[in-house]
Chains A and B, each alone.
Chain A
Amino acid sequence: MTPQTLILLALAIPVACIGPVLLARRRPDLREAFSLLAGIATFACVLLLYGMVAAGERPELVLGEMLPGLPLVLRIEPLGMLFALIASGLWPVTTLYAIGYMRGHHEKNQTRFYAFFALAISCALGIAFSGNMLTLFVFYEALTIGTFPLVTHAGTKAAKRAGRVYLGILLGTSVCFLLLAIVWTWTIAGTLDFVPGGILAGKVADWAVAPLLALYVFGIGKAALMPFHRWLPAAMVAPTPVSALLHAVAVVKAGVFTVLKVTVHIFGLDLLNAGGGVPWLAGAAGFTIIAASLVAMSKDNLKARLAYSTISQLSYVVLGAMILAPLSVMGASIHIAAHAFGKITLFFAAGAVMVASHKTEISQMAGIGRRMPWTMGAFAVGALSMIGLPPTAGFVSKWYVLNGAVESGHMAAVGVVIVSTLLNAAYFLPIIHSAFFGEEKHDGDHRNDHGEAPLPAVAALVITATATVAFFVAPDWAIGLGGDLVGRAR
């Protein structure tokens, strides 16, 4: 198959599976089989493409001319490949998990759930493969709107309110800042193509670099940089598979992916470094890392704590990008993958606990590790990855970010990473400790005679936990792609 066909297939299979999913709405087994199959097929396409990209090819597909001089283009480069691998690879796993979770939780409208989930994946892959900023923006907005029904899935008042926050912040930032930045770039550069080394060098006035970059960084609301982070905790009302794949991986990673993309392929590191960088943006990212960790510490609701942890972890990527050292940018791109495995495991575990015991608050979970050893074991692996300890994925990316920061003399950034590591440990380790060694509490609302969550859910979270460790053992593929991004020899 030609790479063009593969690109089309990767984008089309998720959308195409919506039809069979809708038709099979009365037969859940069949419906979920379709979802799983589509996920595996999509991942296979992306894997085939990975082979080509790793070999140095940059397949391109022009979809058509949208605005005069501004076509919709898909072009795969290393960073996009990395993101696509994560999003498509974790989709079938999440589907597996969803089978256990959605049934165990007796969720309504499951067909709608699977349909929009597939749509969201297609949009995320579109973002990953975008060849210019316009194409990326198209998929970016589609992803926002496509995930709205997932966020408001419960249909309750709280869900609707959360949906408004979600849509308001994501659309608001993207329309007011991001679109403005894109049109500005277009008027300056006359092109929006992603080019290694950037398109703005020599064209943009010195004074404009910082405000333009700020418009991008804050305009990409999906990166959840404070103060535009509120949508992410709000989105936690969604079913856990949505929180796990979309609001820990696909959607938020689309945000930081775009930040990286803009930094490297629109501005170019040389241009930004020549102007001395934009330290206050790095500062904003550093602030978000610390502040979000502090907020996470105060949350008793497990999903809320995980959400703030995500906000904090996302800003590692932004920070890595804003340090502007090749190593740190590389670390940032690896972090996109590394964080994904750990965080999705954590969310899976949180959802599994919710299904099995109906517990949502951390204070209720004392001793639960003895009843759900697999789940909490996986949780522990995910938590270690968040903290950045070996033998987990988080260690690899943090290593590169720290190295880059030290090499380029950003001691403040080094400090931020170290402090946040301590904070991460402070809010994750107690959960694990009390889960395994705490005394079970007996309150009237929750029974304590439960075991593990349904098998598919447990299987999924074991897979992702294993992947978290495997990433530490064999991170070459991600390091290779990250290295390609900044032009390091493999």
Chain B
Amino acid sequence: MTISEHLPALVVVLPLMAAPACVMLRHPFAAWLVASGTSWLCLLMSALLLRQVADHGAFSYQLGNWAAPWGIEYRIDMASAFILVIVSAIAAVVSLYARASVAHEIEQSRQYLFHALFVVCLSGLLGIAITGDAFNLFVFLEISSLSTYAMVALGRDRRALTAAMRYLVLGTVGATFYVIGVGLAYMMTGTLNMADLAARLPAVIHTSTAQAGLAFLVIGIGLKMAAFPLHFWLPDAYAHAPSAASAFLAGTATKVAVYAFLRMVVGVFGATGILAVAAMADMLMVVAVLGMVVGSAVAIWQTDIRRALAYSSVAQIGYVLLGISLLTEAGLAAGIVHLFNHAVMKSALFLALGSVFLRLGSVRIADLAGIGRRMPLSMAAFLVAGLSMIGVPLTVGFVSKWYLVEAILHKGLWPVAVLVLLSSLLAVVYVWRVVEVMWFAKPSALALTAVEAPLSMLVPTWMLAGAAVWFGVDATGTMAVARAAAAVLMTGVGQ
């Protein structure tokens, strides 16, 4: 066996092994080197896996050579490979940024811990994406969550601790709900393998046990992905975590939870037809639209820009869920492509803000007056990513909006389409409010002290901002992958 055959295992195991290495090295720079190197290796492996899927179709990896459905199966298809690439790409870029940012925000003696937690979290997120086993997914979910709680707690001021605590309580409740849901499904089917579950569930879906299982799954994953109204942990966590952690989590954590939702709820339970029968899809749509509108509206009123962006994330998850709730391939593709698009632009925004925090020690909107003149390159990246949030053409935000509206119109849901566009106008308000202060206000006394961010932070920020334009100008590639991924997930639903 060559090493390439073990890529599916390696992509998860490598970051997991890198964590103890970071802890043993203890030296901040050495730990960062390991973490960053690992992230880039993971990106390489994920890209190879995506290519393999694109060339030869989906394939399985039997962990420890135990055949599915008894052993744990890693299943790599278009959907999981796409998520792998998204997560590892964001991780790789953020890891570059993390060195300078972490060195500034976290005391010297704890910096190696951040890097260790970072790779553990990466390992968990990649594991969720790649596994084909419902219980294994729970384990990875908790690996990523536990490391996330700790990462958030490394934030600068003491509110990070309470934010982490709140996140821990709600996150654990969510994960436990998920386990209950899986347990109930297991009770009825005797299997934990997702493909196997999807095959066996239709026969038992009429039982209240299976239906209760679905309900627990939806709530559990809903908590993890901060779907409205289960989002209360998110704004605090993103606002108080270290900048690099905010950027990483904003781009990956909720996305991967959405992927778990896609796999378990649409992929596994979708085959039973219950989503349409039990008005699940309709409920999901209502929740999605509410999240989209309320999230954006609340974002407008925040004085801390990171909180505004966090609420905007709640709204963006609403867009994705809306796409899913259409239960069509086009809707699903729109949702999936938005996972990627939103990850890129939101992480870029958080990275740009992290640079501001590095120089100003604040991200309150009043302190940012005129910062555009002092840090033109960082703030230009913020502007680009912000325009993408609004959905200006030639940015990824526009691509998402276009396909979401198209999918909605195909179903003839006019009012929903109008709501989507209206809520994107709310994004104009909360983005432009910041842009106006940054670029068109007289510099505040604090802003006058600032200078441009160091290159090690500028380059990653622009990598993502550049990607937000690149994939907005030519969306053929991302859309092709998203459509293929949607097709995989829809096979069960069979529209």
Contacts and interface: CB of A to CB of B under 8 A. Distances in A.
Given A155-B440, A167-B432, A187-B409, A175 B476 contact: no
A67 B402 contact: yes
Contacts of B392: 141-142, 145
B317 interface: no
Contact of B476 (A65, A160, A172): A65
A180 B409 CA distance: 9
B341 to A, nearest CB: 13
Interface in B383-429: 387, 390-394, 399, 401-403, 405-406, 409-410, 417-418, 421-422, 424-425, 428
B422 A171 contact: no
B425 A171 contact: yes
Given A67-B402, A138-B393, A152 B440 contact: yes
Contacts of B422: 176
A66 B473 CA distance: 5
B480 A68 contact: yes
A58 to B, nearest CB: 24
B12 interface: no
B107 interface: no
Q: Most chain-A Cβ atoms within 10 A of its Cβ — which of B402, B424, B436?
A: B402
B474 A64 contact: yes
Contact of A137 (B393, B405, B473, B474): B393
B479 interface: yes
B421 to A, nearest CB: 5
Given A64-B473, A66-B475, A160-B436, A179 B428 contact: no
Given A67-B402, A160-B436, A187-B406, A171 B390 contact: yes
B428 A168 contact: yes
Given A66-B473, A68-B479, A175 B421 contact: yes
A186 interface: yes
A183 interface: yes
A138 B472 CA distance: 11
A477 interface: no
A207 to B, nearest CB: 13
A184 interface: yes
Interface in A55-80: 64-68
A160 B421 contact: no
A73 to B, nearest CB: 14
A459 B167 CA distance: 69
A147 to B, nearest CB: 14
A183 B405 contact: yes
B393 A65 contact: no
Q: Most chain-B Cβ atoms within 10 A of its Cβ — which of A137, A141, A183, A187?
A: A183
A141 B410 contact: no
Nearest to A71: B476
A358 to B, nearest CB: 25
Nearest to A65: B476
Q: Most chain-B Cβ atoms within 10 A of its Cβ — which of A142, A160, A164, A179?
A: A179
Interface in A149-172: 149, 152, 155, 160, 163-164, 167-168, 171-172
Q: Most chain-B Cβ atoms within 10 A of its Cβ — which of A152, A163, A167, A180?
A: A180
A141 B472 CA distance: 14
A180 B405 contact: yes
A172 B425 contact: yes
Interface residues of A, number: 29
B387 A179 contact: no
A67 B418 contact: no
Q: Most chain-B Cβ atoms within 10 A of its Cβ — which of A64, A164, A167, A175?
A: A175
A67 B475 contact: yes
B476 A180 contact: no
Contacts of A65: 474, 476
A141 B406 contact: no
Contact of A175 (B399, B425, B474): B425
A66 B480 CA distance: 12
A152 B391 CA distance: 22
A180 B418 CA distance: 8
Contacts of B391: 175
Interface string A172-195: 100110011001101100000000
Interface string A65-106: 111100000000000000000000000000000000000000
Contact of B387 (A145, A149, A160, A175): A145
A179 B421 contact: yes
A183 B391 CA distance: 14
Contact of B424 (A137, A142, A152, A175): A175
A180 B402 CA distance: 9
Interface in A246-305: none
A64 B472 CA distance: 12
Contact of A179 (B394, B405, B436, B475): B405
Q: Most chain-A Cβ atoms within 10 A of its Cβ — which of B393, B394, B401, B473?
A: B393
Contact of A67 (B387, B409, B428, B476): B476
Contacts of B480: 68
A179 B403 CA distance: 12
Contact of B418 (A68, A137, A167, A176): A176
A152 B473 CA distance: 28
A171 B432 CA distance: 12
Given A138-B394, A187-B409, A67 B425 contact: no
B473 A67 contact: no
Contacts of A145: 387, 392
Contacts of B418: 176, 180
Contacts of A68: 475-476, 479-480
A121 to B, nearest CB: 18
Contacts of A164: 432, 436
B381 to A, nearest CB: 16
Nearest to A138: B393
B402 A167 contact: no
Contact of A141 (B393, B424, B440, B473): B393
A171 B406 CA distance: 19
Q: Most chain-B Cβ atoms within 10 A of its Cβ — which of A67, A138, A168?
A: A67
Nearest to A135: B393
Contact of A176 (B387, B421, B436, B474): B421
Contacts of B390: 171
Contacts of A172: 425, 428
Contacts of A134: 393
A142 B473 CA distance: 13
A149 B435 CA distance: 12
B409 A176 contact: no
A160 B440 contact: yes
Contacts of B417: 180, 183
A111 B480 CA distance: 43
Contacts of A163: 436, 440
Given A66-B473, A172-B425, A186 B393 contact: no
A176 B394 contact: no
B409 A171 contact: no
A141 B388 CA distance: 12
Contacts of B393: 134, 137-138, 141-142
Nearest to A140: B393
B292 to A, nearest CB: 14
Interface string B463-495: 000000000011110011000000000000000
B416 to A, nearest CB: 11
Given A67-B475, A171-B390, A172-B428, 17 more contacts: A66-B475, A67-B402, A67-B476, A137-B393, A138-B393, A142-B392, A142-B394, A155-B440, A160-B440, A163-B436, A163-B440, A164-B436, A175-B391, A179-B401, A183-B409, A183-B417, A187-B406
27 contacts: A65-B476, A66-B473, A67-B399, A67-B402, A67-B476, A68-B476, A68-B479, A138-B393, A142-B392, A145-B387, A152-B440, A160-B436, A160-B440, A163-B436, A164-B436, A172-B428, A175-B425, A176-B421, A176-B422, A176-B425, A179-B402, A180-B418, A180-B421, A183-B406, A183-B417, A184-B409, A186-B406
The 9 lowest CB-CB distance pairs between A and B, nearest first, are: A138-B393, A183-B405, A176-B421, A187-B409, A68-B476, A141-B393, A68-B479, A183-B406, A67-B475
